[in-house]
Amino acid sequence: MNYNDKLKTERPRPSSVKNVIRDFNEEMESDRGRAINSAAVRRLQQKTQVFPLETNAAVRSRLTHSLEVQQTGRYIAKLIFKKLDANSLTTQLGLIDKRDGFISAVEIACLLHDVGNPPFGHFGEEAINFWARETLVQIFKDNFSDVVVLESEPSEPVDSKDSGEDKSNTQQNNKAKQKVVEKVVDIHLRDLLSFEGNAQAIRLLHSLQELNLTYTQVASLFKYTRPAYEDKPEDTSDFKYRKKKPGFYLSEESYVSELMSTLNIEAGCRFPLAYIMEAADDISYSIADLDDALDKGILDVEQLSQAIRNQWNAYKGQKGISDAVVEEGYLLKIEKEALTNYQSTVINKSHHYILKLRTSLVNDLANYAAERFVSNHQAIFDGTFDEPLLGGNDSYDLAAKTLKDVAVSKVFSDKEVERLELKGFSVIKGLLLIYTPLLKLSFVEFKSLATSNFLKTHPIETRLFRDLSRKHISTYLNSVEDVYKLEKQESDNLKKELYYRCRLIIDYVSGMTDRFALDEYRELSASI
């Protein structure tokens, strides 16, 4: 186990800095500058964490959440080095001259972890996937005959002895009752049906904004390791956790392959620093969502206190949760101290409650994550550790689970939050439907429009195309350049072009901020 095999300075393209040799720490400093100055990070300030279109600056946006995750990730990374130093392992592991770069890579991965999320949070993801299922499947079927196959699901067999029917009649009845279902087999379409913020982040940083980050920096972002066109693994799979969601798209497959080869990452495995980024995110948002709920008045301190206690005690007797852990009451002790702070304070009472809760939990959970990293170091280094650092079925794992479950039951289900989510769903789906006519053009028609910026026979589509981002159009044209050059188009080439045309629309809409998406929808749909 030697980190010289993992922490490398290679980039997809040579650095613009000529005739200067920089070590790993300096290259990570360069990545820091590229990331912090990127439009992807700036847009996070106007994207939803939990509450869309929030005017209260104290309530978290994606940017303020990411800054908190960044700090937590830095803390965990420093704790890991403290433990490695204590066991004289830093030099042995090849980390003696990579400390600053290691910590910086974790920090920037934490800062960038949400850049691929669409407007209106996870409900925005749902809107994109809903539109894709309802719209793109039919568009691909209209253009290609081999994108789906029909499968019959057998019905319950009828016993001819009981029914009094002869065997031939029984078979005919069963055949009539069979349900015919469609299965998408084309990888282009399967890929488009699985929008995921983590996969979009990889596409945004590499293909759309072309930040040319080191492979090390981008690998630190890979939370999941399967392509979007691949099926979710079975519960018995060794990759059950690492592949539970898509990690990258078909469009970035060759880039990901180069990354994994450069950093010696086996297929389906993670990069070790990604575990730290994930733990920092899990720690931060489990507390932050409840803090925002207090600020918004969705809950008061007494209600939150009771909800935490009820949720913790409800785990007793549940499968997979230790009764001894529940009875030990780790989180209840911290919550009681926080409540005492609240009751003994006169000014800004709820702040003192959440401050005690957050300080104690961040410190304990960060130390726990660091200990789990070191204790499982070989599996984490290899990327085969198939659970999060906050897993483990003990007090700390249950504390994080409790806060998340309280947020789901008491915050995300709040009427105001749900109405905002429905509003966001309508906006994202509506925008995608507005741009859908561009996907219904033939290859020849769209090629003419894309290359000349005008299509006389289609004035609406012409205006819709001109409304798209020039940056995104340029990415599309680069992706299909080889197809456009061909004199005769085969089916596979046409699928490729349509795939990237769909990506063009998805990239544009998913990259919007909440307010811009709402304004665009109002403008284009003539809504007041």
The domain boundary residue, chosen from 242, 273, 304:
273
**How sure is the predictor about 16, in pLDDT bands with cuts at 50, 70 and 90?**
confident
Is pLDDT above 80 for 84? yes
Q: Are residues 352 and 404 in the same domain?
A: yes
The domain boundary residue, chosen from 413, 438, 457:
413
Phi and psi at residue 148, to the nearest 5°: -135, 155
Q: Are residues 396 and 485 in the same domain?
A: no
Give me the active site residues, please. Answer: 65, 113-114, 281, 463
SS (HEC) of 148-202: EEEEEECCCCCCHHHHCCCHHHHHHHHHHHCEEEEEECCHHHHHHCCCCHHHHHH
Amino acid identity for residue 232 in this structure:
K
Q: Are residues 169 and 287 in the same domain?
A: no
| Residue 132 counted as domain residue | no
Phi and psi at residue 246, to the nearest 5°: -65, 145
- pLDDT value at residue 417: 83
| Residue 190 counted as domain residue | no
| Residue 378 counted as domain residue | yes
Q: How far is CA 281 from the centre of its chain?
A: 11
Is pLDDT above 70 for 178? no
What is the CATH classification number for the domain harbouring 35?
A: 1.10.3210.10
Instruction: List, in order, residues 6 or more apart from 91 with CB less than 8 Å away.
Output: none
Task: For residue 247, give the H/E element and its range.
Answer: strand 246-248
Instruction: List, in order, residues 6 or more apart from 287 with CB less than 8 Å away.
Output: 354, 357, 358, 361, 362, 403
Among all chains, which residue has been given the structure tokens 């005492």?
340
Q: Where are the beta strands (DSSP E) in 262-330?
A: none
Question: What are the pLDDT digits (tens) for 259-312?
Answer: 999 999 999 999 999 999 999 999 998 889 899 889 888 999 999 999 999 999
Of 120, 123, 122, residue with least CA distance to 46: 120
Q: Are residues 19 and 118 in the same domain?
A: yes
Q: Which two tokens stand for residue 440?
A: 């219904």
Q: Are residues 52 and 170 in the same domain?
A: no
Judged by DSSP in three states, 227 sits in strand
Q: How many helices (H) and strands (E) does the chain have?
A: 27, 4
* Range among 12-16, 57-61, 294-298, 449-453 with highest mean pLDDT value: 449-453
Q: Are residues 407 and 421 in the same domain?
A: no
| Residue 137 counted as domain residue | no
Q: Are residues 393 and 321 in the same domain?
A: yes
Q: Which two tokens stand for residue 376?
A: 């499982």
Q: Which two tokens stand for residue 471?
A: 């940056």
**How sure is the predictor about 151, in pLDDT bands with cuts at 50, 70 and 90?**
confident
SS (HEC) of 104-128: HHHHHHHHHCCCCCCCCHHHHHHHH
Q: Which two tokens stand for residue 276?
A: 């730290």
Length in residues, the chain? 528
**Parent domain of 255:** 3-123+195-273
Cβ-based burial of 193 (10 A; exposed 0-12, middle 13-18, buried ≥19): middle
Number of domains in the chain: 4
Q: Are residues 47 and 171 in the same domain?
A: no
Pairing mode, strands 179-184 and 226-227: unpaired
| Residue 480 counted as domain residue | yes
d(CA 227, CA 172): 41
Query: Helix, strand, coil proportions of the chain in percent (round to 5)?
Result: 65, 5, 35
| Residue 373 counted as domain residue | yes
- Report, as an integer, the average pLDDT of 140-156: 84
Q: Are residues 283 and 360 in the same domain?
A: yes
Q: Which two tokens stand for residue 316?
A: 């007793």
Q: Are residues 469 and 520 in the same domain?
A: yes
Q: Are residues 252 and 296 in the same domain?
A: no
**How sure is the predictor about 416, in pLDDT bands with cuts at 50, 70 and 90?**
confident
| Residue 128 counted as domain residue | no
- Residue 158 CB coordination number (10 Å): 15
- pLDDT value at residue 160: 45
- Residue 388 CB coordination number (10 Å): 18
- pLDDT value at residue 285: 86
d(CA 347, CA 222): 43
Task: For residue 226, give the H/E element and its range.
Answer: strand 226-227
Cβ-based burial of 523 (10 A; exposed 0-12, middle 13-18, buried ≥19): exposed
| Residue 20 counted as domain residue | yes
Of 275, 282, 230, residue with least CA distance to 256: 230
Question: What are the pLDDT digits (tens) for 432-472?
Answer: 999 999 999 999 999 999 999 999 999 999 999 999 999 99
Q: Are residues 164 and 84 in the same domain?
A: no
Instruction: List, in order, residues 6 or more apart from 165 with CB less than 8 Å away.
Output: 158, 173
Please give the model's pTM, rounded to 2 decimal places: 0.92
**How sure is the predictor about 161, in pLDDT bands with cuts at 50, 70 and 90?**
very low
Cβ-based burial of 233 (10 A; exposed 0-12, middle 13-18, buried ≥19): middle
Instruction: List, in order, residues 6 or more apart from 379 with CB less than 8 Å away.
Output: 385
Of 46, 44, 111, 50, residue with least CA distance to 290: 50
Phi and psi at residue 502, to the nearest 5°: -65, -40
Q: Which two tokens stand for residue 378?
A: 């070989």
What would you measure as the largest C-alpha separation in the chain, in angstroms?
A: 89
The domain boundary residue, chosen from 273, 291, 315:
273
